[in-house]
Structure 1
Amino acid sequence: MVMEHVTSLECTLCGETYAPDQIIYTCPNHEGVAGILEVQYDYDLINDRFDEPLDGVIESQWKYRAFLPINDDAPAVTLNEGGTDLFVTPNLSDELGVDIRIKDDGRNPTGVLKDRATSVSVTKAAYLGQDVITCASTGNAAASLAGYAARAGLPCRIFVPDAAPEEKLAQPLVYGADVLAVDGSYDEAYDLSMDVTEAFGWYNRNAAVNPFQVEGKRTVGLELAEQTKGDVPDWLVFSMGDGCTIYGGWKGFREFYDLGFVDETPKMLGVQATGASAIHDTFHSHDDIDDVAKTVADSISVGRPRNTVKACKALEESDGTSLLVTDEEILAAEKTLGTTEGIYAEPAGATPIAGVRKALDQGIIEPDETVLAVVTGYGLKDTKSAMKASGEPQYIGPDLEAVDTLYGDTGSS
């Protein structure tokens, strides 16, 4: 059955269009993976089909099935992803000096926002009768894909850089995936995953090139639009790696605005690490763009982002901007988020908080504006970095005197 609400796949560079019911990753008019495709929709048909109440009750992202590029008769492969909490965070607001809320997408089934995209791509792979599904990953996409592939009963083969955190490799191994640690960087693992896709015909989940991945990620934007209806923030903040997530968030929010479901849209702030700054450098037209990535925030440690065009489009269309933060600022933000609000984020998930602090210092965000930051991954994804951020435990003897030495005889100071 065709997807009537999906009209085409359109190249972001040359505008060439392709039928949406075929397996195609990039536009063949361009070398390599430059010709990224975007899914185009019949929004009149989507509007006719979407009859869910916009009441803030979101049990999963499949509330927005009418927006997703899924065949009507395709069974959803789901672990109840999406529907994550939006927190009012007064302690963090006081700490930063601005009204900020947090959407914690680390609460997704495998601990990462990427579950939204993976659910869509695995649903499509299963519906199309694919035998094997693959991707490259710094760790999070690997865990996500392995979990959903297990749910679908599909063999899963994943390529990761050999420096990926052990915690992130444990997940896909438990889920039964073949985890192939490549002697090299993420970009080298990515290139290999593309080579095997072409050679063996495996279905490729890579968010950077699979055009349907961003469409799953955009449900975070749909949710945010619904959750902030009547109180849209001035700024919506994401960390940036390959560029897919910030564009997905913007696209979803903008769709609700275009359909008249919300009255305004936020400005997008994209935050990158100084050691992985390619999208930021492109957006600000810097001459020297370094394609070597090195940052403690491994989830956004991408030297050659494949969705730079889409990420910059989100920043431009929203009248937003981007900035860079150091690894030290990222780790400090991870600690701040935990101590002020009890939200445990991996470094990439805490990067937006570091970005908000710097944006305030630079006058990009004004103190009287409102902010919403998206935490993209859970802290247990990288406990070594968390220890760097927080320090070691205090080791004491097994007696009351040891505690009294620390806190005094009241035990409260």
Structure 2
Amino acid sequence: MSLDHVETLECTLCGATYDPERVIYTCPNHDGVTGILDVTYDYDVIQDRFDAPLDGHVDSQWKYDAFLPVDTDATPVTLDEGGTDLLDAPRLGAELGVDLAVKNDGANPTGCFKDRATSVAVTKARFGGQDVVTCASTGNAAASLAGYAARAGLDARIFVPAAAPEGKLVQPRVYGADVLAVDGSYDEAYDLSLEVTDTYGWYNRNAAINPFQIEGKRTVGHELAEQTQGAVPDWIVFSMGDGCTIAGCWKGFREFAELGYVDDTPRMLGVQSAGASAIHDAFHGHDDVDDVADTLADAIAVGRPRNTLKACRALEESGGTALAVPDEDILSAVTTLGGTEGIYAEPAGAAPVAGIRRAREEGIIEAGESVVAVVTGMGLKDTAGANEAVGDVTGIAPSLDAVEATYGAPEPGATDGAAAAYTDLDG
């Protein structure tokens, strides 16, 4: 077996290094979970192994297996995650005044971006002989881990805040996971999951601390680099919760640029809710960072993000920035994205649209610039949030009169075209 393409796990604070084959989550030289680790690679070995054509066709993220921190003898635990479409969005782009494309990662197997990370984590857990996997989640990571654990034949035990959307908690239970609703916030559920990991030795998938999680997420950067080669976008826009998603994309895109697969890199724009804006506040040097999350966009409702440093580095290195937008703008973005491009996103997944609109208003993104908005979760994940955006359905009586009362009488000759079509079909 071989993990020779992975050099070390390196602390982002002090630079201490650790054996990548060791199960370790954070650097013990620091209190709490502040000593986040980064995976470093031997790119000479990776390039010797990576022989997939960069032709814009991606079936799954495992096209980039040479870049993933997985033993070459390990069999991937996969549901064909990744390989999501990059869709032109001309109607929404015209409304926002940009050349827009949407990376629809809500089309991943369990309906969210997190499948990219989970596939790597569960592959490593199974190959390492683990029997139980765990995480804390507001819903999406719970469903993702449960689905991949079922695929791998592992037990999943998941901690969620009691206020997590019910729809998101049904999915992991269908996959057979134990879902434990903690009487507290996401951050309290997160802290409990860490205590459990220390006590029971279960493998922890939490992307904020598991250094291999962000490595799966960085495949979206590889994909976007491949899908846009020759016309690298000016901006890539993500919502931010713990911070590891935008950091992962930047790492992947930057790698492909440094290896010469693409000629340039985009600027990264990170979008948070004004009610959960810790990364935004840290990036802009605010002293009064609020660690209480209050937002309807539950997937990014993180009061104490653990990957603030990596996220801020991605924003700074790329020449990008962070914005915070109110929840009403996020709700409006849900219906705008759906009504213009037919993409149904949960609130956190639509937040990039709200961020692009704000960035245009503030002159951060200029008219006509090329922008990719990454949708990280499908709308069926949070129907309550979407329902708040669209309101109740319209009730009518079962009669044509009721339809006419709503829309008015049909124009004269409105059915002539249809009648002619039927005549043509009759020959």
Place the TM-score, normalised by the shorter chain, in its bin: over 0.9
Distance 2:131 2:409 in 1: 66
2:367 — aligned with what?
A: 367
Distance 1:24 1:237 in 2: 31
Structure 1, gaps ≥5 residues long = none
| Maintained 8 Å contact 1:158/1:179 | yes
1:409 to partner: Cα distance: 2.1
1:2 to partner: Cα distance: 3.4
Distance 2:140 2:165 in 1: 10
1:390 to partner: Cα distance: 1.0
1:350 to partner: Cα distance: 0.2
> Greater Rg, structure 1 or structure 2?
2
2:45 — aligned with what?
A: 45
Following superposition of structure 1 onto structure 2, how do residues 186-335 of structure 1 map, counting pairs within 5 Å? 186-335=186-335
Distance 1:179 1:202 in 2: 15
| Maintained 8 Å contact 1:2/1:21 | no
| Maintained 8 Å contact 2:218/2:249 | yes
Following superposition of structure 1 onto structure 2, how do residues 331-350 of structure 1 map, counting pairs within 5 Å? 331-350=331-350
Q: Is residue 98 of structure 1 aligned with residue 91 of structure 2?
A: no
Q: Is residue 139 of structure 1 aligned with residue 136 of structure 2?
A: no
2:74 — aligned with what?
A: 74
1:98 to partner: Cα distance: 1.3
Per the alignment, in what secondary structure is the counterpart of residue 212 of structure 2?
helix
Name which of structure 1's ranges 210-219 and 88-97 shifts more when overlaid on structure 2: 88-97
Distance 1:311 1:245 in 2: 8
Distance 1:267 1:34 in 2: 26
Distance 1:82 1:99 in 2: 24
Distance 2:100 2:327 in 1: 22
Distance 2:325 2:240 in 1: 12
Per the alignment, in what secondary structure is the counterpart of residue 231 of structure 1?
coil
Distance 1:390 1:94 in 2: 22
2:380 — aligned with what?
A: 380
| Maintained 8 Å contact 2:356/2:365 | yes
Distance 1:390 1:223 in 2: 33
1:139 to partner: Cα distance: 0.3
Distance 1:73 1:347 in 2: 39
Q: What is the letter of the counterpart of residue 102 of structure 1?
A: V
| Maintained 8 Å contact 2:247/2:314 | yes
1:368 to partner: Cα distance: 2.5
Q: Is residue 129 of structure 1 aligned with residue 129 of structure 2?
A: yes
Distance 1:293 1:87 in 2: 32
| Maintained 8 Å contact 2:27/2:36 | yes
1:326 to partner: Cα distance: 0.4
Distance 1:328 1:281 in 2: 20
Q: What is the letter of the counterpart of residue 322 of structure 2?
A: S
Q: What is the letter of the counterpart of residue 161 of structure 1?
A: P
Distance 2:395 2:188 in 1: 42
| Maintained 8 Å contact 1:150/1:176 | yes
Following superposition of structure 1 onto structure 2, how do residues 8-87 of structure 1 map, counting pairs within 5 Å? 8-87=8-87
Q: What is the letter of the counterpart of residue 278 of structure 1?
A: A
| Maintained 8 Å contact 2:350/2:375 | yes
Q: What is the letter of the counterpart of residue 257 of structure 2?
A: Y
| Maintained 8 Å contact 1:221/1:252 | yes
Per the alignment, in what secondary structure is the counterpart of residue 151 of structure 2?
helix
Distance 1:403 1:18 in 2: 68
CA displacement 1:100-149 (0-9 Å, x = unmatched): 11000000000000000000000000000002100000000000000000
| Maintained 8 Å contact 2:2/2:73 | no
1:406 to partner: Cα distance: 1.1
Q: What is the letter of the counterpart of residue 375 of structure 1?
A: V
Percent identity between the aligned chains?
A: 71
Per the alignment, in what secondary structure is the counterpart of residue 323 of structure 1?
strand
Distance 1:118 1:230 in 2: 31
Distance 1:74 1:304 in 2: 34
Name which of structure 1's ranges 91-100 and 279-288 shifts more when overlaid on structure 2: 91-100
Distance 1:108 1:192 in 2: 28
Structure 2, gaps ≥5 residues long = 415-427
Per the alignment, in what secondary structure is the counterpart of residue 91 of structure 1?
helix
2:398 — aligned with what?
A: 398
2:424 — aligned with what?
A: none
| Maintained 8 Å contact 1:12/1:37 | yes
Distance 2:230 2:325 in 1: 31
Distance 1:131 1:335 in 2: 42
Distance 1:333 1:296 in 2: 13
1:158 to partner: Cα distance: 0.1
CA displacement 1:260-296 (0-9 Å, x = unmatched): 0000000000000000010011111101000000101
2:420 — aligned with what?
A: none
Distance 1:156 1:265 in 2: 38
Per the alignment, in what secondary structure is the counterpart of residue 211 of structure 1?
coil
Q: What is the letter of the counterpart of residue 133 of structure 2?
A: I
1:154 to partner: Cα distance: 0.2
1:160 — aligned with what?
A: 160
1:355 — aligned with what?
A: 355
| Maintained 8 Å contact 2:240/2:246 | yes
Distance 2:64 2:359 in 1: 33
CA displacement 1:281-313 (0-9 Å, x = unmatched): 111110100000010100000000000010001
| Maintained 8 Å contact 1:208/1:307 | yes
Distance 2:326 2:241 in 1: 15
Distance 1:297 1:22 in 2: 35
Distance 1:249 1:189 in 2: 26
So what's the TM-score if we normalise by structure 1?
0.99
CA displacement 1:372-408 (0-9 Å, x = unmatched): 1100000000001101111111100001110011112
Per the alignment, in what secondary structure is the counterpart of residue 134 of structure 1?
strand
Residue-pair matches, total: 412
Distance 2:310 2:137 in 1: 20
So what's the TM-score if we normalise by structure 2?
0.96
2:423 — aligned with what?
A: none
